Amino acid sequence: MRTLRNLLRAAGMDHFLYRDGILHAEDVPVPEIAASVGTPFYCYSQATLTRHYRLFEEALDGLPHLICYAMKANSNQAVLKIMAGLGAGVDVVSGGEYRRAVAAGVPGERIVFSGVGKTGEEMRLALSGGIRQFNVESEPEMRLLSEVAVSMGVRAPVTIRVNPDVDAKTHEKIATGKSENKFGIPIARAREVYAEAAALPGLEVVGIDVHIGSQLIQLEPYEQAYRKVADLTRALREDGHDIRRLDLGGGLGIPYERSNSAPPLPLDYGAMVKRTVGDLGCEIEIEPGRLIAGNAGLLVSSVIYLKHGEGRDFLILDAAMNDLIRPAMYGAWHDIVPVVEAPAGVELGPCDIVGPVCESGDTFARGRPLPPLATGDLVAFRSAGAYGAVMASEYNSRPLIPEVLVHEHHFAVIRARPSYEEIISRDTIPEWL
């Protein structure tokens, strides 16, 4: 069983492998990182990030395209620097993300600005600093963007996000392409909205945008949406619009639970893109985030206690829901494994894996089979590179945990753990107290 697991990982899923019974991040033993930075911490593999980006490049080979990494999945500047060096663009959803992308060296002409609530200040920031396009989500946003652009003496390149009313068959909190979701304009109204956009003096219509959700494990919803986009492209061209760019969004899922069947591969996704919109002569943009970063990261934690409860055992870790919110927020699964591999044949026992935050919601897994573990032992949460550190908080006055990047046999802290003094000093007590 151990051999099969390592073969699967060696085939390219990630670069976190057991060697002589010790989990390694590329060529670095995970306990070595833990001894240096303390636990809990996030650990990312540069080799995995690079390989996953290149899988999408291979998938879209033969089509003019730009892969815009969805940085909301993991916005550490070191990760962005890797993406920029590979030639990626980025998809940003806030002024803060725009600034972070620019700071990491991403040129403005490779930045796409998405999101339903862009402010005039954010629009001005992107127009002054350089932008590939705005993915416009509504008519009020479209009108404000035109006003801002005219006031600056420029025209803003835009796609308009259409909502194709397609069920992405994913978690309700990350589905974005159904009629009841807040995103985009109804595709049935697209022609009239594009007509208004073309008449606004501050806008240059360059294409169409669509994104139906995250963590999709089937291609069929994509195919439905992209065929609707293809039909819309032809209709808009008949109306006189120069549709030369299709932003197809992201959302391709990753195998969080390794025992389940794997989601489609990027190669399968690329083939579907080619057969649905490949004949339109458009430049294709896609915005993968989770599939690039998810399996490129671990969350490493130490055992504080093993507690025997009424009819169940609790493994209490030093990581908590504020460090990794996905299980509490989405009921999400993460494979959780010991860093020191258990000997063959050892008996596994079910336990609830929890953190120290004072909420019952601070539970990572229930009844998870694990070998015997003791205080100080290390465990690793797999597939923690996306929507982990970026969604963390300092709830319970717990410091944000370090992020570490590994490259071959080197590792570096790419975000340090703040001290308690730094956290407390951010507060200001009014003079009357």
pLDDT tens digits for range 74-114 = 999 999 999 999 999 999 999 999 999 999 999 999 999 99
pLDDT of residue 260: 59
In a domain, 433, yes or no: no
Q: Which domain holds residue 404?
A: 2-45+294-425
Together in a domain, 26 and 53: no
CA-based nearest residue to 106, from 124, 91, 123: 91
The reply to whether 273 and 401 lie within a common domain is no
pTM of the predicted model over 0.85: yes
Choose one of 289, 305, 327: the last residue of a domain: 289
Q: Is residue 430 part of a domain?
A: no
Q: Are both 416 and 314 inside the same structural domain? A: yes
* Given 43, 282, 351, 358, the catalytic residue: 358
Q: Examine the domain organization and report whether 390 and 313 are in the same domain.
A: yes
Question: The domain spanning residue 230 has which CATH number?
Answer: 3.20.20.10
- For residues 38 and 149, membership in a common domain is answered with no
The low-confidence residues of the chain, meaning pLDDT below 70, are: 1-13, 167-183, 258-261
Judge if 177 and 263 occupy the same domain: yes
Asked if residue 65 and residue 39 are part of one domain, the reply reads no
pLDDT at 165 (0 to 100): 81
Query: How many structural domains is the chain composed of?
Result: 2
Residue 25 located in a structural domain: yes
User: Is 358 marked active-site?
Assistant: yes
pLDDT for res 212: 86
